[in-house]
Amino acid sequence: MIKNFPCRLLLFTLALATLSNFSLPVRALAVDDKISAEEVIAKHLAAIGAAGSRSSDHSRVAVGSVRAIFKARNSSGAVDGRAVFGSVNNKMLVGMAFAASNYPGEKVGFDGQKVTIAYQSPGVRSTLGNFLKTNNAIVKEGLMGGTLSAAWPLLNLAERGAKVSYAGTDKIDNRPVHKLRYDPDKGANVQVTLYFDAETFQHLRTQYEYTISSRLAAGGVDNQARQRETRYKMIEDFSEYKKEGPLNLPHNYTLRLEITTTDGSSSDKWEVKLEQFAFNQPIDENSFNVEGS
């Protein structure tokens, strides 16, 4: 918890200004045990904290450092900056700011009605921004940011109307995990898989997969469509869970966006280390709409 938090969320205000220029014990479960999606979700929620403490009515703010690393066929680079996550109810904001003229950062918001993605320059969004704009259910459903966000859909799944089903087991860094398939209420082309530690039931990863196939203007699918399709994979990884206030939350967040085409591939990564958290502080409603900012 941030100490001496003056002027009602001063740190969050400063972070936005920069962008503009107790865990509960959980029974260990063998991965070959039979388990339902509902059981995974219930144990996952208990791992976050007590029901009253994890209510989406309570705002959350997390601030830290971020390093963006870009790798393409003919170029690569890295830049350091600051990151902020802010949320209350189903409203959320993710922002990253960098002191680079060609890459000022990323700002993604949902104000409860509309998903907005900030431009890098007039009329131009980043590759990540375009991906999230096309697949805006990722933001609208509160999936982005995982348990860092009060908008995390598993907190209020009945209100979301999404379909969640058990998808088996796997391993992440040799750690057994349970997988859940998440299908948004109104449908989406993006495939969403959630990964939970089989022992602690902490949320370790969300993976999004999206494919665009080339088509002829007339005559149906191009014979070479499969060869010319573009595949997108976005992965959010969460680690270093520690108690902050009443909740057990991740302190390391990594976002990766991988794009594969017949002409080559690219891999962008954002590594966030969260340092300060605040809860139940008022957040300006305008903060969740980043359009034009």
Alpha-carbon distance of 217 to 235, in angstroms, equals: 32
> What's the pLDDT tens digit per position in 124-175?
999 999 999 999 999 999 999 999 999 999 999 988 888 999 999 999 999 9
Q: Does residue 36 lie within any of the structural domains? A: no
To 5 degrees, how large is the angle CA 41–CA 46–CA 49? Answer: 130
Q: Does residue 10 lie within any of the structural domains? A: no
* 146 φ/ψ sector (left φ>0, alpha ψ -120 to 50, else beta): left
Q: Does residue 201 lie within any of the structural domains? A: yes
CATH number where 152 lies: 2.50.20
Q: What does the pLDDT read at residue 65?
A: 98
| Amino acid present at 220 | G
Q: Does residue 195 lie within any of the structural domains? A: yes
> What's the pLDDT tens digit per position in 179-213?
999 998 776 789 999 999 999 999 999 999 999 87
Q: Does residue 219 lie within any of the structural domains? A: yes
Q: Does residue 4 lie within any of the structural domains? A: no
- pTM for the whole structure: 0.85
Count of the separate structural domains present in the chain: 1
Q: Does residue 21 lie within any of the structural domains? A: no
Q: Does residue 19 lie within any of the structural domains? A: no
The token pair at 212 is 């665009």
> What's the pLDDT tens digit per position in 28-42?
444 555 899 999 999
pLDDT at 216 over 70: no
Query: How much of the chain, in percent, has pLDDT values that exceed 90?
Result: 68
Given strand 175-183, what is the order of strands in its sheet? 115-117, 105-110, 91-98, 76-88, 60-71, 264-279, 247-261, 230-244, 203-212, 191-197, 175-183, 163-172
Give the domain range for residue 106: 41-288
